[in-house]
Amino acid sequence: MSQQTLKIVALSGGLQRPSRTLALVEELVDGIAQAVPVQAQTIELGTLVPQFGPVLYRQKLPAEVERALQAIESADLLVAASPVFRGAYSGLFKHLLDFVHQDALVDKLVLLAATGGSDRHALVIDHQLRPLFSFFQSRTLPVGVYATDADFSNYVITSEALRSRIELAVERAVPALRQLVDARAQQAARAPLLALA
Ligand SMILES: Cc1cc2nc3c(=O)[nH]c(=O)nc-3n(C[C@H](O)[C@H](O)[C@H](O)COP(=O)(O)O)c2cc1C
């Protein structure tokens, strides 16, 4: 992986397959990948739940869940998406993030997304997900994306309005991602000079 390549980790909080939440994060990651060089990895919560549901302490987690947590913690950009359950992100989504070290996401760029059955729960992004990542002192990107069941047909995005919201979120994310790439390039250019000093 070159220094210019950003590591994107998408955490899809969907518990079923197929999943609208998964379709949404895939579209977001695709959009970002068209704008900046990325290496992307998707974590599907539903596949991990049987392994971490009854676990309380990180050191007791199986290796696959530990690897997922390490991927989340080492991402340059985390795309964090959950279905809305009773007006909030799902309890299992929070349970996975409860294993993340409290300082591991400081300053991390996070793109927020959610899916729900109702338009009326769109504020889950700003009232639930954003405060969760504020706890972690992450840098949540200004535009998050909320989609409803009506934006999909057979778990595939069919709504042009949703596509526009995804485009806007990507457009607003790209400057922050480019800054990261530039900062890395400058750091890499300085490194040989520092070695000579
Ligand atoms: C237990 C449960 C609770 C739900 N609660 C809400 C809710 O409060 N508000 C809402 O808009 N949708 C609610 N939904 C609908 C889901 O959020 C919606 O269908 C979502 O897109 C499912 O995502 P998925 O396809 O990734 O599983 C609920 C669904 C379930 C199964």
Q: Is residue 135 part of a domain?
A: yes
What's the pLDDT score for residue 25?
98
Q: Is residue 142 part of a domain?
A: yes
Burial 133-155 (b: 16+ CB within 10 A, else e): beebebebbebbbbbbeebbeee
- In short, whether 121's Cβ falls inside 6 Å of ligand 1 is yes
Residue 63 sits in a domain whose CATH number is 3.40.50.360
- In short, whether 118's Cβ falls inside 6 Å of ligand 1 is yes
- In short, whether 18's Cβ falls inside 6 Å of ligand 1 is no
- In short, whether 13's Cβ falls inside 6 Å of ligand 1 is no
> By C-alpha distance, which of 2, 7, 10 is closest to 38?
7
Give the tens place of pLDDT for each residue, 33-92: 999 999 999 999 999 999 999 999 999 999 999 999 999 999 999 999 999 999 999 999
- In short, whether 123's Cβ falls inside 6 Å of ligand 1 is no
Q: Is residue 101 part of a domain?
A: yes
Least confident of 59-63, 68-72, 146-150, 186-190: 186-190
What's the pLDDT score for residue 70?
98
Q: Are 112 and 140 in contact (CB under 8 A)?
A: yes
Q: Which domain holds residue 169?
A: 6-196
Residue of the CA atom closest to atom 23 of ligand 1:
83
- In short, whether 141's Cβ falls inside 6 Å of ligand 1 is no
CA of 16 to the centre of ligand 1 (A): 11
Q: Is residue 22 part of a domain?
A: yes
Q: How many domains does the chain have?
A: 1
Tokens for 136, please give them. 């972690």
CB atoms within 10 A of CB 79: 28
**pTM, rounded to two decimals:** 0.96
